[in-house]
């Protein structure tokens, strides 16, 4: 159980600012996902925490104490890097049990735990193989077994599930969460996949270009994105430029009432989740008329597109709701004030 804090951390490689003025805290026992596109600085952040890199500026603390003077092995932060990292001359089970063996656990006991963990990562019976006799995905799972068995103060996983097929990925997500919860190991899980971040993280830290763009529970990134960039990264479909004044945001298709989250007055971008858009019956505010131009069945929901003049709004209906609408229908469209969210209009 360890808290991690980064205080105004920067890392510069010659001319590249990989991480800039990054401050974040992870709570003890929390699973924090670091999310960002390729090149955002995620791997660099993990290496800084593990002690493989030294920051250009700022401080890194475990339980409030700076670890900058400590070498990697004293920090007890286990880092599972992207790509092959197994000891080639050791069997899978010895690789998995490596930390236990280093710590002086009796060999038979260490091996037994290694075998058990290999079974849990879906590799029963493969303990005696060398890494060269395993596929890439299998090697990755041995590395994951090794990280989970190390019982570190901090577990740092760098895209640990990349290259696994979807079914295995889901199993491994579950395993990581379960192992992490059971031992309450503070974990940083890196991914560039927004869905994976949402599924894994108690909280998400979204990194763009080495800077922290937004941190919070997964839901915030959908419902309260701080910027248009965040909304886009999370696949927001409905974004409309407008001008905000008082309680009203003027958009090209309507003057909309706003209930919540007031930015400074002026140019804004308004967004609403497709599942928050109501069709059919009008509401007390923000109801306009639109024409249904597309409808696609998606199993769990029906994705509908509604034209209001030149503007197209995406709505998501339950399949039973969707039965009362057909393409070409003119219908009332309601954007509930408490589901609208505004972001600054000038893109940074």
User: Which residues contribute to the site for ligand ADP (CB under 6 A)?
Assistant: 13, 16, 18, 36, 38-44
- Residues in a beta bridge with 298: none
76 contact choice in Mg ion, ligand ADP, none (CB below 5 to 8 Å, kind-dependent): none
Instruction: Determine contact, residues 263/244, Cβ cutoff 8 Å.
Output: yes
Q: Which residues contact 104 (CB under 8 A, 6 or more apart)?
A: none
Burial-class residue 74 by CB neighbours within 10 Å (0-12, 13-18, 19+): exposed
Tokens of 190: 């890196």
Question: At 159, is the secondary structure helix, strand, or coil?
Answer: coil
User: Which 28-87 positions form the footprint of Mg ion (CB under 5 A)?
Assistant: 42-43
**Closest distance to ligand ADP from the beta carbon of 133 (Å):** 29
Q: What does 13 interact with, of Mg ion, ligand ADP, none (CB < 5 to 8 A by kind)?
A: ligand ADP
> In terms of DSSP bridges, do strands 186-191 and 287-297 run parallel, antiparallel, or are they unpaired?
unpaired
Phi-psi category of residue 29: left, alpha or beta, with phi > 0 → left and psi -120 to 50 → alpha: left
Closer residue to ligand ADP, CB minimum distance, 208 or 325: 208
To Mg ion, the closest distance from the beta carbon of 158 in angstroms equals 6
CB of 41 to ligand ADP, least distance (A): 4
Residue among 18 and 302 whose Cβ is closer to Mg ion: 18
The DSSP call for residue 327 is T
Q: Check if the beta carbon of residue 201 is closer than 8 Å to that of residue 168.
A: no
Nearer to ligand ADP, 20 or 331 (CB): 20
> At its nearest, how many Å lie between Mg ion and the CB of residue 156?
12
- The helix or strand, by DSSP H or E, that contains position 228, with its residue range, turns out to be helix 228-233
User: What is the smallest separation between the CB atom of 49 and ligand ADP, expressed in angstroms?
Assistant: 12
Distances (CA, A) of 312 to 124, 151, 236, 307: 52, 51, 13, 4
Shortest Cβ 183–Mg ion spacing (Å)? 25
44 binds, among ligand ADP, Mg ion, none (CB under 5 to 8 A by kind): ligand ADP
Q: How far apart are CA 339 and CA 237, in angstroms?
A: 14
Cβ proximity to ligand ADP, 41 vs 127, nearer residue: 41
Distance of CA 80 to the CA centre of its chain: 17
**Nearby residues of 194 by Cβ (< 8 Å), 6 or more positions away:** 35, 221, 233, 234, 235
Nearer to Mg ion by C-beta: 192 or 203?
192
- Cβ neighbors of 295 (< 8 A, separation 6 or more) are 302, 303, 304, 305, 322, 325, 326, 327
Q: Which option in Mg ion, ligand ADP, none does residue 18 bind, with CB closer than 5 to 8 A by kind?
A: ligand ADP
Number of residues that bind Mg ion (CB under 5 A): 2
263's contact among Mg ion, ligand ADP, none, with CB below 5 to 8 A by partner kind, is none
- Please report how close the Cβ of residue 25 comes to ligand ADP at its closest, in angstroms: 20
Q: Binds 41, which of ligand ADP, Mg ion, none (CB < 5 to 8 A, cut-off by type)?
A: ligand ADP
Quick one: 42 or 339, whose CB is closer to Mg ion? Answer: 42
Residue 39: contacted member of ligand ADP, Mg ion, none (CB under 5 to 8 Å, by partner type): ligand ADP
Q: Which residues pair with 287 in a beta bridge?
A: 334
Q: Which is nearer to ligand ADP, 11 or 141 (CB)?
A: 11
Q: Which does 51 bind (CB under 5 to 8 A by kind): Mg ion, ligand ADP, none?
A: none
Between 96 and 144, name the residue whose CB sits nearer to Mg ion. 144
Say which residue the tokens 């409030």 belong to.
Answer: 64
Contacts with Mg ion, 209-228, as mask; x by CB under 5 A: --------------------
For Mg ion, the binding residues (CB under 5 A) are 42-43
């Amino acid at each position: 159980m360890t808290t991690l804090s980064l205080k105004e951390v920067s890392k510069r490689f010659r001319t590249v600012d990989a991480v800039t003025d990054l401050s974040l805290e992870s709570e003890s026992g929390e699973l924090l996902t670091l999310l960002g596109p390729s090149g955002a600085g995620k791997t660099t952040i993990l290496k800084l925490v593990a002690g493989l890199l030294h920051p250009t500026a700022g401080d890194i603390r475990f339980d409030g104490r700076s670890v900058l003077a400590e070498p990697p092995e004293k920090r007890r932060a286990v880092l599972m890097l992207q790509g092959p990292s197994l000891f080639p001359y050791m069997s899978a089970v010895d690789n998995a049990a490596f930390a236990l063996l280093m710590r002086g656990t009796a060999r038979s006991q260490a091996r037994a735990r290694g075998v058990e963990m290999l079974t849990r990562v879906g590799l029963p019976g493969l303990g005696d193989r060398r890494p060269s006799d395993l596929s890439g995905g299998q090697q990755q799972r041995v590395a994951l077994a090794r990280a989970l068995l190390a019982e570190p103060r901090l577990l740092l996983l760098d895209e640990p599930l990349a290259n696994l097929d979807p079914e295995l990925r889901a199993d491994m997500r579950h395993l990581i969460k379960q192992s992490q919860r059971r031992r309450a190991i503070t974990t940083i899980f890196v991914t560039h996949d927004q869905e994976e971040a949402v599924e894994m993280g108690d909280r998400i830290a979204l990194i763009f270009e080495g800077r922290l763009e937004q941190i919070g529970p997964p839901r915030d990134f959908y419902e309260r994105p701080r910027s248009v960039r965040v909304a886009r990264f999370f696949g927001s479909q409905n974004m409309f430029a407008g001008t905000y004044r008082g309680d009203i945001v003027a958009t090209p298709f309507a003057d909309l009432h706003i209930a919540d989250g007031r930015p400074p007055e002026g140019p804004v971008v308004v967004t609403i989740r497709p599942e928050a858009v109501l069709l059919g019956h009008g509401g007390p505010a923000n109801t306009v008329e639109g024409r249904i131009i597309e409808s696609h069945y998606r199993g769990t929901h029906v994705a509908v597109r509604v034209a209001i003049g030149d503007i197209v709004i995406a709505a998501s209906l339950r399949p039973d709701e969707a039965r009362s609408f057909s393409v070409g229908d003119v219908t009332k469209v309601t954007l509930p004030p408490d589901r609208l969210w505004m972001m600054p209009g000038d893109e940074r």
